[in-house]
Amino acid sequence: MSAPASARPAAPSYAAVLRVPHARRTFATALVGRLSYGTVPLSLLLATQRATGSYAASGAVLSLYGAAVVLLTPARASLVDRHGARRALFPLAVAHGGLLCVLAALTWRTGAPVPLIGAAGVLAGACAPPLGPTMRAVWSRLLADRDLLRRAYSLDGVAEELLFVSGPALVGVLVAWTVPASGLLLGALLLVVGTAAFVTSPAMTGPRPRSRTGDGGRRGGVRGLAAPVVVAAGTGLTISGVELLVLARVGGDSGDTDLVPWVLGALSVGSALGGLANGAIDWRGPARTRLTGFAVALGLTIAAAGLAPGVWTLAVAMACAGVFIAPALTTAYLLADESAPASDRTRAGAWVNMAVNAGSSAGGLTTGALLGHLPLPLCFALTGATALGSAGVALAGGRRREPARV
């Protein structure tokens, strides 16, 4: 379902994206469902800690839930590509929402067995519907104009970042009035209602036929994903590593960790502004070149941030680094979309989504190990080198005639 060429505006803009038929309704309902992913992790962490009295148990349950969400994202996205969003997403949402209600019941009072909570967390994570990758695939079908599509992806990325900021704040307001497990019920409600409205939008289509290969229809993978997946993973590693480094730096300099949210907030603000600017600029170069450039700029800025003389200088450096985060991820999604046939676009985007989340999960562990043995400025430099290394892989991959298969 694409906008006719004659209907495309001469000067693509964010307003033009939202004027495309059915775009506003589809995007808004997807965001309602995706807000659940901003509320559930913190709710699960707080509810499990309250129910078990153990920080170790709450961390383990959250890790199990997160691993199931992240690692099975491509498999769930493949269901959407094979059966269509209407047939695949809503059953996943109902299953995920139901299991969140089970988790809420288990953690409403103290005394629930930790293995039972963990098992429910794994099952809930395994059923999480891939709303983000599906929405990006819908954008690709709605917008034939690549400039409009880039703006749509930038708008999507900025909105998603705001969801992950507002979600925990919403949980904070909720737990001030009731038990943390209520946040899980809120997440279930948001997900089921948002997904139901999303899949009934006129912009959604039925199942698309999958392209056939010479092996009887089996697929060997989506080609050309190595560069966006590697850069997404490197960006995720860098972001989560920086969060821990900022905590160590601010705590060491001033002893007041209350300033940490402000410094990390500067990173988020920079990312939002960078994402909006990336969509507004009329880029002429190929997406792979931009992807490499954003990753290099991110790595160099993070490395330089380790030399910041004070906390507020560090906040400015974080804002500058953030400018390249959303553009790098947006361009990774665009490149994945360009690399995939229409029948596999949800799965292609899901690989990028999995990569950035997996990188975020691993970054804290690797950076934590470095902090115990190396000076802080060197830790910043090595964290920046992660982004630089991913840019090198993307650049090397672009020189090969046969792209890697993922």
Helix (H) or strand (E) holding 177, with range, is: none
> Lowest-confidence range among 7-21, 152-166, 221-235, 363-377?
7-21
CA-based nearest residue to 247, from 256, 238, 235, 236:
256
Name residues whose C-beta falls within 8 Å of residue 238's C-beta, 6 or more positions apart in sequence.
298, 299, 302, 359, 363, 383, 384, 386, 387
pLDDT digits (tens, 9 = 90+) for 221-277: 556 788 899 999 999 989 888 888 888 888 776 566 667 878 888 888 899 899 889
Indicate if the pLDDT at residue 191 is higher than 60: yes
Indicate if the pLDDT at residue 101 is higher than 90: yes
Looking at residues 337-356, what average pLDDT do you find? 84
Q: What pLDDT is recorded for position 207?
A: 47
pLDDT digits (tens, 9 = 90+) for 130-157: 999 999 989 988 888 888 888 898 899 8
- The 3-state DSSP composition of the chain as helix, strand, coil percent (nearest 5) reads 80, 0, 20
d(CA 22, CA 136): 14
pLDDT digits (tens, 9 = 90+) for 276-291: 898 888 887 788 889 9
CA-based nearest residue to 125, from 41, 233, 11:
41
Indicate if the pLDDT at residue 326 is higher than 50: yes
Q: What pLDDT is recorded for position 405?
A: 37
Query: Up-side HSE of residue 271: CA atoms within 13 Å toward CB?
Result: 25
d(CA 180, CA 49): 9
Tokens 């891939």 locate to 130
d(CA 272, CA 111): 42
Q: What pLDDT is recorded for position 268?
A: 87
C-alpha pair distances (Å), 5 with each of 13, 94, 158, 192: 16, 38, 27, 35
213 or 333, higher pLDDT? 333
For residue 398, name the pLDDT band (cuts at 50, 70, 90).
low
Q: Chain-wide mean pLDDT for the chain? A: 84
For residue 6, name the pLDDT band (cuts at 50, 70, 90).
very low
Indicate if the pLDDT at residue 374 is higher than 60: yes
Indicate if the pLDDT at residue 3 is higher than 50: no
Name residues whose C-beta falls within 8 Å of residue 326's C-beta, 6 or more positions apart in sequence.
154, 157, 158, 161, 271, 272, 274, 275, 278
d(CA 389, CA 368): 20
Indicate if the pLDDT at residue 332 is higher than 50: yes
51 or 363, higher pLDDT? 51
Going 108 to 161 to 25 to 202, the CA torsion angle's sign is: negative
Which two structure tokens, joined as six digits, stand for 190? 């948001």
Name residues whose C-beta falls within 8 Å of residue 359's C-beta, 6 or more positions apart in sequence.
232, 233, 234, 235, 236, 237, 238, 239, 240
Which two structure tokens, joined as six digits, stand for 23? 């775009």
